[in-house]
Structure 1
Amino acid sequence: MNHLFVRRMLPWLLLLLLVLQVAAVPAFAQGETTPVSSLSANVEKYLSDLQKNQESMGLYAGIAVYDLTDKKYVYTHNEKRNYIPASNIKLFTTISALDRLGPGYQWKTEVYIDGKVNPGGILQGNLLLKGYGDPSLSPEDLQELATAIKAQGIKQVNGDLLLDESYFDDTRLGTSWMWDDEPYGYSAQLSALAVHKNFATVTTKPGLKTGDTAKLKIEPANTTLTLTNKVKTVDGSDTVITVERPRGKNEIILSGTIGVKSSDYQEDVTMEDPALFVGDVWKQKVTEAGIELKPKTEVKKTIVKTGVPLHTHLSKPLSEVMVELNKESDNFYAEMLLKTLGATQKGQGSFEAGTEVVADVLKRAGIESGYAQVDGSGLSRFDLITAEQMVKLLVFLQDQDYREVLEATLPIAGVDGTLKSRLKGTAAEKNVIAKTGSMGGVNSLSGFVTAKNGHKLAFSIIVNGIYKSKYARELQDFIAIQLATYPENLFPAGYTPEQLQTYQLSGLIDPILDKPEADGLTTGIIVKTLGGEVLYEHDADSLLTPASNLKLLTTAAAFNQLGTEYTFKTELYGDTPIAQNGVQNGNMYVKGYGDPTLHTEDALQVQDGVSIEQIAAWLKEQGLKRVNGNLVLDESYFDQQRLGLGWAWDDESYYYNPTLGALALNRGTVMVEYEPAKKAGDRVKWNLLPKTSYVQIINEAQTVEAGQENTFAIQRNRGTNTIRLTGNLPVDQEGDYERVPVEEPAKYAGAVLKEALVKEGVSFAPKSSITIGNVPVSAVKWNEFTSLPLRDIVNYLNKRSDNFYAEMLLKTLGGVKKGEGSASAGAEVVQDDIASMGGNTNFDMIDGSGLTRYNLISARHIASALEGMTKSGAFAAFDESLPIAGVDGTLKNRLKETPAENNLHGKTGSMTGVNSLSGYITTKSGEKLVFSIIVNGYAIDSEVMTDLQDEIATILASME
């Protein structure tokens, strides 16, 4: 079929599908909105005023209010656009749970025996504990179970304590949850066998006097978690404590200070493999019940295949559990409930199966598509819904026999739950019942209110792009009060509806944004001449997730603040000068300053610059033969934060999610090459670059017959340098490679350097080790190796959109300009640079690459940086670094055979639910324009977003 014909027909097909979908929606969804009611006028004026305030102008909201009595919408605003809902997604989960499980559903936890109990009460075998996803299981419940077993005559167990968590899958965290949330209780890992919500509570108490180490207590007591106490007691009553849990480890590190007069500080902390935590607590409760365990009794996991339970514990009914879930917005309860839905209804306790069940319920509510749900709690920023969809579900709820049960779980304004402290003393107090939702940049409120005329209103307010959260809450509270007094709202004095501003390009670009397939998208656009004339803008101030368009700010600031010819250095030192006999009796030191191009001379090399082989060869040329001291690696120029804040835990095995450090090699990765064996049944063949012992490869992957499913995967065990090859690779597949990040990048560089030196004939003493440390002041500098100039490095960075380069550059900006090699210090430098070019800095920049979804920036911010760079002495180098449409980089295959080909110079950006394109383009008449297009939201296909951008770019290039 002709490809061009398909592309031309696609919009009409999508429109037809939309018409059919609308026809299937219940009649209530088609009610008319009051043209300019006092309610509408009040809310629209409030929204308009927010856009005039520098601290609130970036927020954008989807709002829908439906009168359940009159069966019509009384107010809507961008109700069909998709938004990240945060905890409002819990309504999807809990309504579906009541629909499919019923209010009386109870979770069970069973105890089995594997063996025989002799007349003396001795179990010759194992005691088995099987979980079915009870989110509310407590240590007291385990005590009750143990007591019940003792009552049945078991006095001693001559075996192990076995745990069965197989009712759920082994995916512990939701899609795209943030790694830096993991230590905290609200992001606890999931398991079908869980206790105390899979977290422990650490209480920190001040010491008796200033200077003392603080006192720690953990509940429930357990041996699963190790506490490292770095908290000191100081004068006063202030407390500043940081809690860390290294990825993949069960160590909790508390550091900071607590005032000697301070009250206790508490934090809920999580653990890896939480079923073993259950086993730890279970073992204690069994012992406390008077059941004797052998000294060698172990806690291990298993799967119970047969047998009759010796005793079963039942949870409280779902209706009661859901009160805490919704009132307190409990993430753990919601996720366990979602997996329970999957296990009970689809036979698979997984996120995917659970969301399928929710989708089945939503279809009955008239919500067929146009949303994304990946977890049960809303902790993932991959969740995308509309205010209209939420209201449809709330309307659907009214006809269900569990309506009162669900409504009883919602927080009451000014009374309880997450609304306890809001709307007090207003018409909405005790009147609004609604689910809240809140995380960085997101705030939502959906539920019910009884209006002044007695009508019950269903409403949803979802706000994204929040720079200061108070403005979103105040907007919600304002609307809630308006609804509580509806329809007696006073028309705002002097109010006149704002006229939609038109621009020179409105007639050409507006129809592109109005296409049905773009309904769920929020698109920030601005197009300007270099003289400052705005040719078009649309939601240009909305704070959106920019993806890799953020690299424009990072690289612009780097050129302006460091200069195009800036070079990175890597230094070599020794405790003494290199000995004439070649035997170095002291330590050798390597100090890094953030060179992103340090590499090995193999397929991992992407640019010239400093290589490990070059350093090793130079040392050999100096006559070095043996090192009797240590190889010490100094990475102190940067902080120790290896990943950007907000990066997703499930991306850690992928090259675009590299580990960071001032001394890092091969963009923080190794390369695993692979290909099928010559015949089916043999292991997949692999090769590691560089050839280093720093990482371990475990090959479990099999070659299978041609035509079979390709399930081959490469994953790194979290927090380790163990890489697993798994799955099946058909014999007819071609070979390929993956770059995989490694932990502790400085040690990786040191290990490869040591191996290169050994290869050059340099030996190390048997007790010589590779350590992290600082170069002492007394050390002797041996040499300094310098990178390519920054112009070459940024050229690669922008053309290839390299995240590692961008993050190293951001930390370098912080190191050079602020004396602190951190992302936060680097972001300060970038904002200072934007301000110096006349741009506003009311945006959030958290990393340098755009990988985190914590970044919030508008099209206007991006365009101001691009505009400012045209006046910079570094503009030529900056412009040269950008991909060229249809020619190279990430734009190589876009806009071919259009007027934008070999014309548009721009930066792309792409993540799930995000696509951006910003840069420069020259019109047909020869005028250079600056433009920025940032698209966020849900689309039936990612090409909807790129096609939108390409259509606009073609229009700009075609302008006379």
Structure 2
Amino acid sequence: MNYLSVRRVCMWILMLIVAWQVAAVPAYAKSSDDAESPLSISVEKYLSDLKKDENSMGMYAGIAVYDLTEKTYLYRHNEKRNYIPASNMKLFTTVAGLDKLGPAYQWKTEVYVAGTLTNGGVLQGDLILKGYGDPSLTPADLKDLAFALKEKGIKHINGNLLLDESYFDDTRLGVSWMWDDEPYGYSAQLSALAVHKNFVTVTMTPGKTVTTPPVLAMEPATTYVKLTNQLKTVEGDKSNITVERPRGKNEAIISGTIGLKAKPYQQDVTMEDPALFVGEVWKQELAAQGIKLNPNTAMKKTVVTNGVPFHTHLSKPLHEIIVELNKESDNFYAEMLLKTLGATQKGKGSFEAGSEVVADVMKRAGIETGFTQVDGSGLSRFDLITAEQMITLLSFVQDQDYRDVLEQSLPIAGVDGSLKNRMKGTSAENKIIAKTGSMGGVNSLSGYATAKNGNKLAFSILINGIYKSKYARDLQDYVAILLATYPEIKAPEGYDHETEKTYKLSLLIDPILDQPEATGVTAGVLIRSLDASGEDAIWYERDPDSLLTPASNLKLLTSATALTQLGTDFTFKTELYGDAPIAKNGVQQGNLYVKGYGDPTLHTENALKVQEGVSIEQLAAWIKDRGIKRINGNLIVDDSYFDQQRLGLGWAWDDESYYYNPTLGALALNRGTVMVEYQPAQKPNERVQVNLLPKTSYVNVINDAVTVEEGKANTFAITRDRGTNTIRVTGNLPLGHGGNYERVPVEEPAKYVATVLKEALAKQGVSFGGNSTILVQTTPAAAVKWNEFHSSPLQEIVNYMNKKSDNFYAEMLLKTVGAVKKGEGSADAGAATVLDTVSAFGGRTNFDMVDGSGLTRYNLISARHILSVLEGMSKKAEFRAFDESLPIAGVDGTLKNRLKDTEAANRLHAKSGSMTGVNSLSGYITTKSGERLALSIILNGYAEDRVLTDIQDQIVTILAEYE
């Protein structure tokens, strides 16, 4: 390193150190108030041992133990870092509910009459049911309401049944909840008018013989949810049952097998638009009480703005509701409470307003900032808190008059709730009351312990990066048992606290990662020389084995596997078949078949085209050039090369209108999207000008957007109705706006291909018979192959994928790898092939890969795993294609505008990745002295503005300048 570089770096480090000394203890420090205490030594040794096991080495924990009696911390470990809390988030919501509403708060459900009640008991008008967010309303409560109406003389309703759910907004699901959770009761949709927690309970009972279909029963019984029974009875007592609910539909598809001797199986199944479900149950209860309805009685939604309730039902008080909320970890109760907080305190029953109320209470408790809450239950992985914040909250509660109410709602170790079967027969049984929390990769436990000396302890154990959940639960139980025996803890013998290793770049990089702005961030960093070996090759490490969410850095694994397993010259094919050879008279008898093999580049010749390859127009022209003028059969599209899973597991429901969340299929067009171009009209109050590409009937664009005067607010939006191909253009677009476009995903990509092809054939003068239709089926073995069309080589496709970070390409490649190497075109099979590849490179495979793009937060991987791929590829014949596909700092791709005026420009070839709370950068860099380095920087957690990208840029600049 030259003199000027050294001087500049040293001055910069000095400024950081000054700021660092003024700040709080850095987040990475594994601190405790007494590092030599038996409690500290015991837990630190346990954590150290976990790092030696491949099944637990990726876990990272934030732990804090506070003695409420002595007012002192007993132990702290990464207590300032952010963690996804899962259901520990419910403690924030519950405390805010008790604080703002009070333990005695009751929800109401009101009945109004709009009309007159005759002496004969006939209501000449409508009956209105209005909800205020009661999470506990049951069919029995509706029965009581109906009975009350009967007692008040109503015998006949000569009008409609109206439903008012306006107390809450119409956002049914939480931020970034996962679409594949939606069928299940723990992810029920929300409405101010709700019954039976907005799900039906389906009971599946085996048939009497293996030839008899299983019996399905639903509670409450309703026609609002359709049950499709594809379940089969089989021999034995084992069951393998799958319950699916297609997005946007009120249909539950039950498939799989149930053993003849198996016990009945139950599953809670959700539905769309649950207020109408309430209406169906309400209608049944009215009829059961003998209250007559007209045959043409309609059920509609309304908003009651005035009037006096005819009858009011009150729920149980909040202090009883939170017992089920916390002991059973009920998501629905928590979300309804959060929206109720928003409605009562902020005048808006929304997640955002409710979260603001929680933040107000947290501020009073002493938690000013540094956490993120987007829902009430913790189901969202956008929620981020620290162990220290949890201790602050638990301590705050001790001075509130609702302290006992909260504590009585918590599960008791070995006794009840979600801790009923944990810590039984140990010193912690009956001594620990705590809220659990768990979901994939996440496990948490926070609450209170009664120590052996009688002191009351508050504790929080937040664990992320979990490969095997058993190890997280065991850690929590171990700590809880220690607390129950405190202070009579015997430290393990022969354990010395681990000292932090120092590396070649420790003095330069440590201050960057330890800056106060990054206090809440977990960093997995590994920098290794490709020109050295052994210990000398490691230039820097920081938690390199922590399993973190990688975002688009996962594309490195997908592209490396595709290039090495398929070859750089691999091409995708699309095939055309007929029921017979091509006719010479221009009239083709039989069907036309189009079979896809996962070509991600299939396109139309317009602005949606991004690479050369096969186009729909090319297919249509080829058919025309064969002399075909008419096809007297169906157009059949075959996408059977891949499975039917259209979205990656764990993708967020609220991303479905956006191009980066495409639908997938072996036969797909324009990266699974259409393009909606838009610009303001010539004058205010006119419709915004909209143009659809390709011009196809496959989607329905409803344009309600209006042009407004320049300077007015831009509220323009393009969304797609869930599970449909209806695109809505709404809001205001000001004059002077330059216009733009959005790509919108479509449903059932194979049908999209067929529709656009049929329209292209019509333009070529090729028609279909009058009864022709579009079908999605497999190509019969007897079909005659007419031709196959090939994409550009794989290395060109990978180049586009990585430079542009294209999710669609990545998912199509992953499924193709699965199809070619495992005989199954699925993400699971593709991921299995990736694991094989990583293993062949000499890397460990103790990580979770669920999709190919990194869009799902189910993915958990470490910097070391990614480095093993980067190192492995550097030794392969396909390295050049791999390296050339990576964005170049300051030059192209997703790094085009980063590091332009630094030494890293043109030296760094790397894949970026970013999602909320996630930022990653992995690839190769050449130092000023010419040494080749591989690096991986994965950052997870809460940080303001550009902190995460600035950390990465500062690190790679140091690497580039190194001499």
| Structure 2 residue aligned with 1:919 | 923
Give 2:547's aligned amino acid. L
Deviation of residue 35 (structure 1)? Answer: 3.0
| Structure 2 residue aligned with 1:907 | 911
Aligned partner of residue 98 in structure 2, secondary structure: helix
Distance 1:18 1:434, change over 3 A: farther
Aligned partner of residue 159 in structure 1, secondary structure: coil
Matched, 1:511 2:511: yes
CA contact 2:58–2:547 (8 Å) conserved in 1: yes
Matches within 5 A, 1:162-181: 162-181=162-181
Q: Aligned partners of 1:342 and 1:577: how far apart in 2? A: 67
Q: Aligned partners of 1:643 and 1:77: how far apart in 2? A: 38
Q: Aligned partners of 1:11 and 1:668: how far apart in 2? A: 51
| Structure 2 residue aligned with 1:438 | 438
Question: What whole-Å deviation, never above 9, does each CA across 1:223-276 have from its counterpart, x for those lacking one?
Answer: 110010000000001100100000000010000000111110100000000000
Q: Aligned partners of 1:504 and 1:910: how far apart in 2? A: 28
Q: Aligned partners of 1:19 and 1:306: how far apart in 2? A: 58
Deviation of residue 100 (structure 1)? Answer: 0.2
| Structure 1 residue aligned with 2:264 | 264
Deviation of residue 417 (structure 1)? Answer: 0.2
Deviation of residue 21 (structure 1)? Answer: 10
Aligned partner of residue 562 in structure 2, secondary structure: helix
Aligned partner of residue 687 in structure 1, secondary structure: strand
CA contact 1:917–1:934 (8 Å) conserved in 2: yes
| Structure 2 residue aligned with 1:26 | none
| Structure 2 residue aligned with 1:625 | 629
Matches within 5 A, 1:61-72: 61-72=61-72
| Structure 1 residue aligned with 2:5 | none
Deviation of residue 12 (structure 1)? Answer: 8.4
Matches within 5 A, 1:284-683: 284-530=284-530, 531-532=532-533, 533-683=537-687
Q: Aligned partners of 2:625 and 2:702: how far apart in 1? A: 37
Deviation of residue 211 (structure 1)? Answer: 2.7
| Structure 2 residue aligned with 1:208 | 208
Q: Which moved more, 1:453-462 or 1:525-534?
A: 525-534
Distance 1:152 1:12, change over 3 A: farther
| Structure 2 residue aligned with 1:703 | 707
Q: Aligned partners of 1:898 and 1:120: how far apart in 2? A: 87
Match among 761, 764, 767 for residue 760 of structure 1: 764
Q: Aligned partners of 1:56 and 1:795: how far apart in 2? A: 35
TM-score for both structures, normalised by structure 2: 0.97
Aligned partner of residue 781 in structure 1, secondary structure: strand
CA contact 1:11–1:517 (8 Å) conserved in 2: no
Matches within 5 A, 1:821-900: 821-900=825-904
CA contact 2:698–2:725 (8 Å) conserved in 1: yes
Q: Aligned partners of 1:410 and 1:430: how far apart in 2? A: 12
Q: Aligned partners of 1:14 and 1:227: how far apart in 2? A: 64
Deviation of residue 9 (structure 1)? Answer: 11
Aligned residue pairs, count: 945
| Structure 1 residue aligned with 2:791 | 787
Distance 1:701 1:14, change over 3 A: farther
Match among 953, 957, 960 for residue 954 of structure 1: 957
CA contact 1:925–1:959 (8 Å) conserved in 2: yes
Deviation of residue 16 (structure 1)? Answer: 8.2
Cα RMSD after superposing both structures: 1.6
Give 1:598's aligned amino acid. L
Q: Aligned partners of 1:652 and 1:534: how far apart in 2? A: 42
| Structure 1 residue aligned with 2:3 | none
| Structure 1 residue aligned with 2:73 | 73
Aligned partner of residue 433 in structure 2, secondary structure: strand
Q: Give structure 1 stretches of 5+ with no counterpart.
A: 23-30
Q: Aligned partners of 2:614 and 2:602: how far apart in 1? A: 5
CA contact 1:569–1:787 (8 Å) conserved in 2: yes
Question: What whole-Å deviation, never above 9, does each CA across 1:741-790 have from its counterpart, x for those lacking one?
Answer: 00000000000000000000011112100110011111000000000000
Deviation of residue 957 (structure 1)? Answer: 1.1
Q: Aligned partners of 2:461 and 2:720: how far apart in 1? A: 41
Distance 1:32 1:812, change over 3 A: closer
Distance 1:12 1:723, change over 3 A: farther
| Structure 2 residue aligned with 1:84 | 84
Give 1:597's aligned amino acid. T
CA contact 1:11–1:516 (8 Å) conserved in 2: no
Matches within 5 A, 1:250-261: 250-261=250-261
Aligned partner of residue 885 in structure 1, secondary structure: coil
Q: Aligned partners of 1:211 and 1:628: how far apart in 2? A: 41
Q: Aligned partners of 1:835 and 1:411: how far apart in 2? A: 43
Aligned partner of residue 831 in structure 2, secondary structure: helix
Aligned partner of residue 70 in structure 1, secondary structure: coil
Q: Aligned partners of 2:870 and 2:626: how far apart in 1? A: 48
Give 1:801's aligned amino acid. S
Question: What whole-Å deviation, never above 9, does each CA across 1:471-500 have from its counterpart, x for those lacking one?
Answer: 000000000011111111101111111111
CA contact 2:16–2:515 (8 Å) conserved in 1: no
Give 1:211's aligned amino acid. T
CA contact 1:905–1:921 (8 Å) conserved in 2: yes
Q: Aligned partners of 2:585 and 2:371: how far apart in 1? A: 71
CA contact 1:18–1:516 (8 Å) conserved in 2: no
Matches within 5 A, 1:193-204: 193-204=193-204
TM-score for both structures, normalised by structure 1: 0.97
Give 2:957's aligned amino acid. T
Aligned partner of residue 74 in structure 1, secondary structure: strand
Q: Aligned partners of 1:367 and 1:376: how far apart in 2? A: 17
CA contact 1:32–1:72 (8 Å) conserved in 2: no
Give 1:827's aligned amino acid. A
Matched, 1:115 2:119: no
CA contact 1:14–1:517 (8 Å) conserved in 2: no
CA contact 2:32–2:75 (8 Å) conserved in 1: no
Give 2:316's aligned amino acid. K
Aligned partner of residue 666 in structure 2, secondary structure: coil
Question: What whole-Å deviation, never above 9, does each CA across 1:698-747 have from its counterpart, x for those lacking one?
Answer: 01111111111100000000000000001111112110000000000000
Deviation of residue 212 (structure 1)? Answer: 2.1
Match among 786, 800, 809 for residue 813 of structure 2: 809
Give 2:954's aligned amino acid. E
| Structure 1 residue aligned with 2:947 | 944
CA contact 2:17–2:511 (8 Å) conserved in 1: no
Q: Aligned partners of 2:898 and 2:392: how far apart in 1? A: 39
CA contact 2:20–2:516 (8 Å) conserved in 1: no
CA contact 1:11–1:515 (8 Å) conserved in 2: no
Give 2:959's aligned amino acid. L
Q: Aligned partners of 1:897 and 1:683: how far apart in 2? A: 44
CA contact 2:20–2:515 (8 Å) conserved in 1: no
Question: What whole-Å deviation, never above 9, does each CA across 1:188-222 have from its counterpart, x for those lacking one?
Answer: 00000000000000001111111322110000011
Q: Aligned partners of 1:594 and 1:514: how far apart in 2? A: 45
Aligned partner of residue 511 in structure 1, secondary structure: helix
| Structure 2 residue aligned with 1:28 | none
CA contact 1:646–1:853 (8 Å) conserved in 2: yes
Give 2:374's aligned amino acid. V
Deviation of residue 516 (structure 1)? Answer: 0.0
Question: What whole-Å deviation, never above 9, does each CA across 1:520-574 have from its counterpart, x for those lacking one?
Answer: 0000000111134211100100000000000000000001100000000000000
Aligned partner of residue 889 in structure 2, secondary structure: coil
Matched, 1:693 2:734: no
CA contact 2:24–2:516 (8 Å) conserved in 1: no
Percent identity of paired positions between Structure 1 and Structure 2: 72
Aligned partner of residue 256 in structure 1, secondary structure: strand
Give 2:91's aligned amino acid. L
Aligned partner of residue 507 in structure 1, secondary structure: helix
